[in-house]
A and B are shown apart, each in its own frame.
Chain A
């Protein structure tokens, strides 16, 4: 069974204080790892897809990296508007048919001015 564990559950940062969120996963062959951002009262918003170990993707102050066992979402010099819950999801490889996503419970990030 595919599993995703995110840590920490909650993180409070001062504006400008860089940090990383962790997503550890167990999957029988990874097709893709997805990062989403979710603001209160809204649906998850797609950020990145990573497909293979060593891959990195960046968007503004966010950089996602991938190893064979975990992914990190690095936040550089965060601003209050980066406050949100960040969700990680994995998709396993299947020989045929569609493989659904397994989501972690998320990390709630609060950035104070």
Chain B
């Protein structure tokens, strides 16, 4: 398996612009997670899905952030409008069903810079 795929790998945008990050989880995994990583706060969970349904979005910082999972092989994280404080590395991770283990497998991340 190719592992979790994320695109783009790097994104530089100006404040106020819309940003869309994309993720393809590992085939057969039931759970998908979006994380944000910064030096100050480490890895923070933003939202997670089970079988394409959003379960917990309490980590989403503001209404400017939204996430969707239209099918089992694709998810997006959108920031509109973007702000400089959104600059971070965003990771997508996937995990198999609970009876097959709880390990999460991470993608390579998208480094977002908002100027």
Chain A interface (Cβ < 8 Å from any Cβ of B): 31-32, 34, 36, 41-46, 49, 87, 91, 97-98, 100-101, 103-106
Knowing that A32-B102, A43-B108 touch, tell me 13 more A-B residue pairs with CB under 8 angstroms: A31-B102, A34-B102, A34-B103, A36-B106, A44-B43, A46-B104, A49-B101, A49-B102, A98-B50, A100-B45, A100-B48, A101-B45, A103-B42
Taken residue by residue from 68 to 98, chain B's Cβ proximity to chain A (1 for < 8 Å, 0 otherwise) reads as: 0000000000000000000000010100001
Query: How many A-B residue pairs lie within 8 Å, measured between CB atoms?
Result: 48
Q: A98-B98, A100-B56 are in contact. Are A46 and B42 (CB under 8 A)?
A: no
Q: By the criterion CB–CB under 8 Å, are B107 and A43 in contact?
A: yes
Docked CA distance A103–B109 (Å): 17
The listed residue (B55, B103, B109) touching A98 by CB distance below 8 A is B55
Docked CA distance A108–B49 (Å): 30
User: CB-CB < 8 A to A100: which residues of B?
Assistant: 33, 45, 48, 56
Q: By the criterion CB–CB under 8 Å, are A106 and B42 in contact?
A: yes
Q: List 6 A-B contacts (CB under 8 A).
A: A43-B106, A43-B108, A44-B106, A45-B106, A46-B105, A87-B43
Q: For the complex formed, measure the closest distance between the CB of A12 and the CB atoms of chain B, giving whole angstroms.
A: 19
Interface size class of B (residues with CB under 8 A): 20 to 34
Interface flag for B4 (CB, 8 Å) = yes
Q: A34-B103, A49-B102, A98-B50 are in contact. Are A42 and B45 (CB under 8 A)?
A: no
Docked CA distance A23–B8 (Å): 33
User: CB-CB < 8 A to B105: which residues of A?
Assistant: 46
User: CB-CB < 8 A to B33: which residues of A?
Assistant: 100
Q: For the complex formed, measure the closest distance between the CB of A112 and the CB atoms of chain B, giving whole angstroms.
A: 23
Docked CA distance A91–B50 (Å): 17
Residue of A nearest to B105 (CB): A46
Docked CA distance A44–B105 (Å): 8
Q: By the criterion CB–CB under 8 Å, are B42 and A104 in contact?
A: yes
Docked CA distance A103–B37 (Å): 11
Q: For the complex formed, measure the closest distance between the CB of A88 and the CB atoms of chain B, giving whole angstroms.
A: 11
User: CB-CB < 8 A to A49: which residues of B?
Assistant: 101-103
